[in-house]
A and B are shown apart, each in its own frame.
Chain A
Amino acid sequence: MGGWERFVDTFFKPALIERYWPAILDGMWVTIQIAAAVVVTGLALGLLLAVIRAYRIRPLTWAIILCVDVLRALPPLVLILLAYFGLPNIGILLSAFTVLWLVLSAVLAAFTEEIVWAGITSIRKGQWDAARSTGFGFTGALIFVVLPQAIRLAIPPLTNRTIAITKNTALGSVIGVAEILNRATTAQSVEGNATPLAMAAIAYCLLFVPVVIAGRWIETRFGWRRA
Chain B
Amino acid sequence: MDLLIDQFFNTAIMAQAWPILWRGLQMTLLLCLTAVPLGLLGGLLVALAGRVRALRWTVVALVDLLRAVPPLVLLLFLYAGLPFAGIHLPPFLAALLALGLNASSFYGEIWRAGIDSVGHGQWEAARSTGLGHRQTLTAVILPQAARAVLPDLVSNTIEVVKLTSLASVVALPELLYSADMARSVTYNASPLMLAAGLYLALLWPLVRLLARFEHRSAGSR
Give the residues in chain B near A114, CB-CB below 8 Å: 211, 214
Select which of B165, B207, B217, B219 is within 8 A of A77 by beta carbon.
B165
Instruction: Tell whether B146 is near chain A: CB-to-CB under 8 Å.
Output: no
> For A69, what are the chain B residues with a Cβ–Cβ distance below 8 Å?
204, 207-208, 211
Bound-state CA distance A180–B72 (Å) is 12
B7→A122 contact, CB < 8 A: no
Q: Give complex CA distance A168, B159 in Å.
A: 12
Interface residues of A in 65-100 (CB under 8 A from B): 65, 69-70, 72-79, 81-82, 85-86, 89-91
**Given that A170-B72, A170-B73, A208-B68 are contacting pairs, would A78 and B207 also be in contact in the complex, using a CB cutoff of 8 Å?**
no
Q: Is the CB of A81 within 8 A of B176?
A: yes
Quick check: B180 and A81 within 8 Å, CB to CB?
Answer: yes
Interface size range of chain A in the complex: 35 or more
Contact of A75 among B7, B64, B163 (CB under 8 A): B163
Q: Is B81's CB within 8 Å of the partner chain A? A: yes
Residues of B within 8 A of A218 (CB): none
How far is it, in angstroms, between the C-alpha of A169 and the C-alpha of B214 when the chains are bound?
Answer: 28
Pairwise interchain contact B80-A188, C-beta atoms closer than 8 A: yes
What B residues does A198 contact at CB under 8 A? 77, 81
A89 touches B7 (CB 8 A): yes
CB contacts (< 8 Å) of A21 on chain B: these are none
- Bound state CA distance, A80 and B85, in angstroms? 32
Question: B206 — which chain A residues lie within 8 A by C-beta?
Answer: 73
Residues of A within 8 A of B159 (CB): 164
**B29 located at the interface, meaning its Cβ lies under 8 Å from any Cβ of chain A in the complex:** no
Interface secondary structure of B, over-half rule: helix
Q: Which residues of B contact A90 (CB under 8 A)?
A: 3-4, 7-8
* Interface residue? A20 (CB, 8 A): no
A171 to B180, CA, bound (A): 15
- Residue of B with least CB distance to A65: B211
**A61 close to B (CB within 8 Å):** no
Is the beta-carbon distance between B80 and A185 smaller than 8 angstroms?
yes
Binary contact track B191-215/A, C-beta < 8 Å → 1, others 0 = 0110110011011101110010011
Chain B: CB-nearest residue to A9: B84
Q: How far is the CB of A82 from chain B (nearest CB, A)?
A: 5
Q: Please report B residues at the A interface, Cβ cutoff 8 Å.
A: 3-4, 7-8, 64-65, 67-74, 76-77, 80-82, 84-85, 158-159, 162-166, 168-169, 176, 179-180, 183-184, 187-189, 192-193, 195-196, 199-200, 202-204, 206-208, 211, 214-215, 217-219, 221
Q: Please give the residue numbers on chain A whose beta carbons come within 8 Å of chain B beta carbons, in ascending order.
A: 6-7, 10-11, 65, 69-70, 72-79, 81-82, 85-86, 89-91, 114, 118, 121-122, 124, 163-164, 167-171, 173-174, 180-181, 185, 188, 192-194, 197-198, 200-201, 204-205, 207-209, 211-213, 216
